[in-house]
Structure 1
Amino acid sequence: MTVYGIHASHEQVHPARLLDAVIRAEQAGFTAAMCSDHFSPWSERQGESAFAWSWLGAALQATGLPFGVVNAPGQRYHPAIIAQAIGTLAAMYPGRFWAALGTGEASNEHITGDRWPRKEVRTARLRESVDVIRALLAGEEVSHDGLVTVDRARLWTRPAEPPQLIGAAVSERTARWCAEWADGLITVNAPVERLRRIVDSYRGAGGRGRLALQVHLSWAADEAEAARLAHEQWRSNVFAPPVCWDLETPAHFDAISREVTPAQVAEVVNVSADLGRHTDWLHEYEELGFDEIYLHHVGQEQAGFIDAFGAEVLPKLRAAGN
C-alpha cells in the first residue's frame, strides 16, 4: 500500500509552526514526512528558511514518523559533515531517517562565494560526495582528492544500519543516472506521461528501492482561494531547469515571476477546492508505482489542509488500495 506523508516546507513556514504541523499531520493519519533544506526561500513572499537539520532532530523526537530530507552535498555542505548529520539522526532514530541527494540550486549554494559549476560538474561532484558519504557511514576512514577534498575523515557515531540514500531527479536522464548509485528515487509531480517516463527510466536502468513523489498542491474551501494561494506562494516556482537551478536570490525569482499567471501555476501545482479531484490525482500517481507520496500544500497555513485531507482524502485512498 502506498505511504502518504506530508512535506514540510522550511522556506514557507516558521520552524515552530512547521513542527506543530507535522505533529498534527501524524494525528490526522499521515504516516511519513519529509522536508526541504534551503538557505533561502524561492520568494520574499515566502519569507522563511530555517535550518533543516536542527529541526529534524526536534521533529523525529516529537513524532513517531519516519522523515527524509532533500540535500545537496558538495558546496554549501561538505559531504563529511552531511555524513555525520545523517549518521547521528539515523543512530538516534533507527529506521526512521533517509536522505535524498541532488545537485542543488544556486539560490542556496552561492552563499559560499564559490563559483557555481556547470551541471555536468555538479553531477560529478555529487557522485563523489555520495561515495564519500557511503564510505563514512560504513565506518571507513576516508581521504579523497577531487571535486571535493576529504582528509582522514571518520565517523565515530554511526547507526547499526546505514540509512538509505535516495536519488533526486526531475528528468529521465537524471533518473537513469541515479539508478547507478541510489537506494531509491524521488521526483516531483508532473503530467502523468512524464512521470511514467521518469519511473521507467529509473527502473529500466536497474534502479532499485522505493519510488517517492513530492506533490505540490493547493486546497481551500473555494476554488478562487485555492488559486489565489497557489499564485501568491508558488508563482516563483514554475520555471523549469536550468532557470530554477541558476538564479541566485529571492529577488531574482520575484523579478522573473511578475507576469506569471494563475493558469501557469496550475501547470505545476494541483489546484482545486474539490477534495475528490485531489483524491483522483493522487490515485493516478499511485497507479504509476510510487511507493511513497508526500503532500505539499503550498499555502503557509497548514492546519486546514491537514485536517481536510486526513478526514476525507487519506481514508478513500487507503480503502481503494485494499
Structure 2
Amino acid sequence: MSDNPQRKIIHIDMDAFYASVEQMDNPDLKGKPLAVGGNEVRGVVSAASYEARKFGVRSAMSGAQAKRNCPDLIFVPPRFDRYREISKKIQKIFHEYTDLVEPLSLDEAYLDVTQNKKGNPSATLIAQEIRKRIFDEVGLTASAGISSNKFVAKIASDYNKPNGQKTINPEEIEDFLEALDIKKFYGIGKVTTEKMYQHGIFTGKDLKRKTSEYLEEHFGKSGAQYYKIVRGIHNSEVKPNRTTKSVAAEHTFDTNLTSEIFMAERLERIATELERRLQKHKISGKTITLKIKYSDFTQQTRSKTLPYFVSDKGIIFETVKELLYQERMKDSVRLLGISLANLNTEIKKTVVVQLRFEF
C-alpha cells in the first residue's frame, strides 16, 4: 500500500485535445471522423477524434492506413500555436487551485491538491470543478483521475473517458490494481505486455504473485518498479519544475530519402533549428543522438558522447554526419531527428521541436 495515503493527486487529461480544438474552431468538423496531421498518401496521424477512433484510427498511425480504416476520414494540418494558446488557458485554471502543477504535455498534467488554494478537502470535488471550468471557459471536455499517487491517478483518468472521472481511494488501490488488465498499467507498453503474457501475467493479481527477485530477473531494473506499483507504492511527488533530459528537433519527409547525401542536407537544417533552440534557452549537452525512422516505421538511434558540452550547430552537425555514415541504411528513410542529452542545465520541461517544412 502507498506510504503516502494522505496525498491527494489529480491527473487531468484533455479528451482528444488536438482534434477537439479543431472541431471547436470549425463547427463543420463536429461529429465527423477527423485526423490531425498526415494525409491519405503520407505522413503520420498526430491525433484522432473519437469518431475516427471508432474505425481504429490512432495517433502515430500512417495517414494511408488511417484512410484505409476510415474512408470518410478528414485530415487537417496541426496548429501548434493554437494548441499552446488553449493549453495556457487550461494551465491558468489549474494554478488557481494549486501551484503544484506538473505538465506532462500540452493536454495533460498532474495536480497535487492536498493543500489547495480553495481550502477544499475533496480532491474529487476539485476535479469536477476544474473540468466544469475548462468546459465553460475553454469549450473543451477533460477527464480526470484522482488518487493518492500519480501512477494510479494516471490510470484512473483513462477509466471513464471521454468527459468523465474516477476516484480510487487509498484503501481501494490494491484491489483496483489487482483486477486491472496488465496492458492498462501506465508505462507497460506492447512489447512488455507480450513478455508478461509469456510469463503468465495477465492482470495485476498475476503480477502481484511474482516475487521481486523473479521480476528483476526477467524484466531487469523495471521489475523492482513493477513489484512496487502493483502494491500501490509510488511515492513520486508532483514536480512543477521538471528536469530537462533532452532537447530534440526532427522532421518527417513527404518523400522517403534513399541517399545519405540528401539526408545530410536535411540534417544540416535540423541542426540549425536545434542550435537556435539550444541558444535561446542557454542549454548545451554532451550526448548527440541521430534518430532514424525507416519507411517500414522501424526506428534506429545512433549516439556519441563528447568530452565537453556543445550547443554549436557546426559540432553537432559534424558529429551527426559521422553517425549517419557509421553504417549503411537498411531501407529508405521517412524521418530524421537530432537530440542532445546529458545537459548542463535545468528548465521547466523537455523541449521538443517538430519541424514541418513541407506539411
Structures share a fold, TM > 0.5? no
Query: TM-score w.r.t. structure 2 length?
Result: 0.26
Larger RCO, structures 1/2 (Cα 8 Å, 6+ apart): 1
Give the structure with the larger strand fraction.
2
Query: TM-score w.r.t. structure 1 length?
Result: 0.28
Give the structure with the larger helix fraction.
1
Greater gyration radius: 2
